[in-house]
């Protein structure tokens, strides 16, 4: 079925057959088990208790909250079974942004890897590059210099800030405060300007590479970051006035999409959703990587596990990130920004004109790529959405044999049906927005 013959037939074959939600009468008893949530199904006993509700008058309609929908944060398709406005069963159908990145990852060398991986979670691209680089460095067994580690931490916290600002903007818009999009994006542009000054690009930076960082920090980066740290906290307080004290906002988010710690752990959820249930688990503190054990920050934990908690956690985490950035500002060590191991780092540009070996070295690293010893390595970082892991299997050649990225949003999307059960469609929109899934990371 190539796209051309869709063109002739004129009829778009968009039904995905078995992947879709089957109506009760066709699918029979086992499908009703999905009632509680796509994954945490009802037990037979609960379904039996449910069974006596006579189904003939409550005709449930199955409706598509499809790939092209303003509030599904990208191309997520949810099939909802509705009784009037109330959501009974939900099934996420994903794959509408499947880009075959893991297959492409096997064709690119380790130096080209970050360009492919950075397009997975496009709200926080630097985290993908970081996790790929950490896994590669674990395979190589090399140590990245102090300055590179701290630069990576600075960039990741800036990216976390911009990702949480994107969340606040879209969360406000999804719940009806459309002007939040304008406010949220105003701050995000400030953060992206600082990232553009440092890395040269607003997104998909390819700045964190195996072996360190692509370039040193430019002149005047302290002034830009300090200016950011002066303006954004005041703006976050402005959001508090705009959103938190609003009865409408509270009414839409409090008590909606409640989830408990046991359910989160059973579903494999990490990040703000797990922390919103009151369970303090943050990789930056519990399995420290980079230099997070030398920086002092707080892990923010919620109390009820509903959408309002997740909103408050992300708002507070944005402030924590700025607190970390302030500490990095004064404690950034000097030194070189890339590992000086000849095998991994190409020689500096000036050396190439002088020595023949440097030119050969430069040529070999950029065309054929450096060889990584055979083995497997798994690295994980705390991305704004949860634990982002990267498994690299190397067969000794210059290209990874298998690259697997564990996206937190993939598990968060599977938990949506569980949180949306029993709520209204409007609550479902607020829940999708609170889970903040990024479809690039779900479909890879």
Partner 1 sequence: MTDADADTPDGDEGATEATEGPEPIHGAPVTEHRGHRTAHVARDGLLDLVKALRDEGWLMLLDVTAVDQLTNANRAPLPEGVAPERFELHVLLMSHREASRLTLKVQVPEDDPTVPSLFALHPGAEALEREVFDMFGIGFDGHPDLTRILMPEDWEGHPLRKDYAVGRIPVQFKGDPGPR
Partner 2 sequence: MGWDLDDGLAGLDHNVLTGRVEDLVRWARKSSLMPATFGLACCAIEMMGAGGAHYDLARFGMEVFRASPRQADLMIVAGRVSQKMAPVLRQVYDQMMEPKWVISMGVCASSGGMFNNYAIVQGVDQIVPVDVYAPGCPPGPETLIHAINTLHGKILTGEILRRRDETGAGAEIHIEQRDGQSEPVVLAGRD
Partner 3 sequence: MGQYLPIVVLALLAVVFAVISRFASGLLAPSRPNPAKQAPYECGIVPSREPPERFPVRFYFVAMLFIIFDVEIAFLYPYAVSHGTLGVGGLVAIVLFTIPVFASFVYEIANGGLDWGPRRAERSQGVHAPGIVSAGRTTATTIRRVGTEGRPTEGEAA
Rank residues 104 and 244 by Cβ distance to partner 3 and give the closer one.
Answer: 244
Q: 179: burial class by Cβ within 10 Å (0-12, 13-18, 19+)? A: exposed
Tell me whether residue 296 or residue 353 sits nearer to partner 2 (CB atom).
Answer: 353
Residue 362: name its binding partner from partner 3, partner 2, partner 1, none (Cβ under 5 to 8 Å by kind): none
**Near partner 3 by CB under 8 A, which window of 44-52, 169-177, 256-264, 411-419?**
256-264
SS (H, E, C) 406-443: ECHHHHHHHHHHHHHCCCEHHHHHHHHHHHCCCHHHHH
What part of residues 34-93 is at the interface with partner 3 (CB under 8 A)? Answer: 58-59, 61-69, 77, 83-86
Q: Which does 74 bind (CB under 5 to 8 A by kind): partner 1, partner 2, partner 3, none?
A: partner 2
How far is C-alpha 19 from the geometric centre of its chain's CA atoms?
24
**What residues form DSSP beta bridges with 381?**
388
CB of 298 to partner 2, least distance (A): 29
Q: Does 75 participate in binding partner 1 (rule CB under 8 A)?
A: no
Contacts of 261 (CB under 8 A, 6+ apart): 274, 277, 278, 279, 305
* Secondary structure of residue 401 in the 3-state scheme: strand
Q: Which two tokens stand for residue 234?
A: 């005041």
Quick one: 63 or 97, whose CB is closer to partner 1? Answer: 97
* Residue 325 Cα distances to 116, 321, 328, 329, angstroms: 27, 6, 5, 6
Which C-beta is closer to partner 2: that of 140 or that of 165? 165
| Residue of 31, 174, 187, 309 that binds partner 3 (CB under 8 A) | 309
> Which residue in 437, 395, 390, 409 sits closest to 114, CA to CA?
390
Q: Residue 108: which residues within 8 A CB-CB, separation 6 or more?
A: 115, 116, 399
* Residue 430 and residue 257 in contact, taking contact as beta carbons nearer than 8 Å: yes
Minimum Å distance from CB 113 to partner 3?
Answer: 32
Which of residues 114 and 407 has its CB atom nearest to partner 1 in the complex?
407
Nearest approach, Cβ of residue 187 and partner 1 (Å): 33
Q: How far apart are CA 265 and CA 85, in angstroms?
A: 30
395 near partner 1, judged by CB under 8 A: yes
Which residue lies nearer to partner 1 by CB, 357 or 376? 376
Per the DSSP assignment, residues forming a β-bridge with 383 are 386
Q: Which of partner 3, partner 2, partner 1, none does residue 247 bind (CB under 5 to 8 Å by kind)?
A: partner 3
Segment contacting partner 1 by CB under 8 A, of 31-39, 53-61, 202-210, 217-225: 31-39
Q: Count CB-CB contacts under 10 A for residue 265.
A: 14
Residues of the shown chain interacting with partner 1 in the complex, contacts defined by CB under 8 A:
1, 15-19, 30, 33, 38-41, 94-95, 98, 100, 102-104, 107, 138-139, 141, 265-270, 281, 286-287, 374-378, 380, 387, 389, 391, 393, 395-397, 401-402, 404, 406, 410-411, 413-414, 443-444
């Amino acid at each position: 079925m190539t796209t051309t013959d869709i063109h002739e037939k004129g009829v778009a074959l968009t039904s995905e057959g078995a992947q879709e939600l089957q109506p009760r009468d066709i699918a029979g008893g086992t499908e009703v088990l999905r009632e509680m949530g796509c994954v945490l199904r009802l037990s037979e006993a609960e379904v039996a208790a449910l069974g006596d509700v006579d189904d003939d008058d409550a005709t449930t309609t199955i409706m598509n909250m499809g790939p092209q929908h303003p509030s599904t944060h990208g191309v997520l398709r949810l099939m909802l079974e509705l009784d009037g406005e109330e959501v009974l069963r939900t099934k996420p159908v994903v794959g509408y942004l499947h880009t075959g990145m893991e297959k492409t990852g096997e064709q690119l060398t380790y130096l080209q890897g970050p360009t492919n991986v950075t397009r997975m979670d496009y709200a926080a691209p630097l985290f993908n590059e970081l996790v790929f680089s950490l896994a590669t460095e674990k395979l190589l067994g090399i140590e990245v210099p102090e300055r590179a580690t701290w630069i990576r931490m600075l960039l990741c916290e800036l990216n976390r800030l911009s990702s949480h600002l994107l969340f606040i903007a879209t969360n406000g818009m999804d719940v009806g405060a459309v002007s939040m999009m304008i406010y949220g994006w105003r701050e995000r542009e400030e953060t992206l300007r600082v990232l553009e000054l440092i890395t040269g690009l607003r997104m998909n930076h390819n700045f964190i590479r195996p072996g360190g960082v692509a370039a040193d920090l430019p002149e005047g980066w302290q002034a830009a970051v300090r200016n950011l740290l002066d303006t954004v906290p005041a703006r976050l307080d402005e959001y508090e006035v705009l959103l938190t004290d609003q009865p409408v906002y509270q009414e839409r988010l409090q008590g909606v999409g409640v989830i408990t710690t046991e359910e989160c752990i059973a579903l494999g959820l990490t990040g703000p959703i797990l922390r919103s249930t009151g369970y303090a688990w943050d990789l930056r503190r519990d399995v420290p990587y980079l230099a997070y054990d030398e920086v002092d920050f707080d892990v923010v934990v919620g109390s009820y596990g509903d959408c309002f908690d997740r909103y408050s956690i992300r708002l507070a985490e944005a402030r924590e990130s700025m607190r970390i950035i302030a500490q990095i500002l004064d404690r950034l060590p000097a030194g070189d920004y890339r590992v000086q191991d000849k095998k991994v780092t190409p020689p500096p540009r000036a050396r190439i004109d002088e020595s023949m070996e440097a030119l050969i070295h430069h040529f070999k690293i950029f065309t054929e790529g450096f060889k990584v010893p055979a083995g497997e390595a798994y690295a994980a970082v705390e991305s704004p959405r949860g634990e982002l892991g990267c498994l690299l299997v190397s067969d000794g050649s210059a290209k990874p044999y298998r690259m697997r990225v564990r996206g937190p949003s993939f598990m968060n999307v599977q938990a949506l049906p569980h949180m949306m059960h029993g709520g209204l469609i409007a609550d479902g929109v607020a829940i999708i927005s609170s889970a903040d899934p990024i479809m690039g990371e779900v479909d890879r």
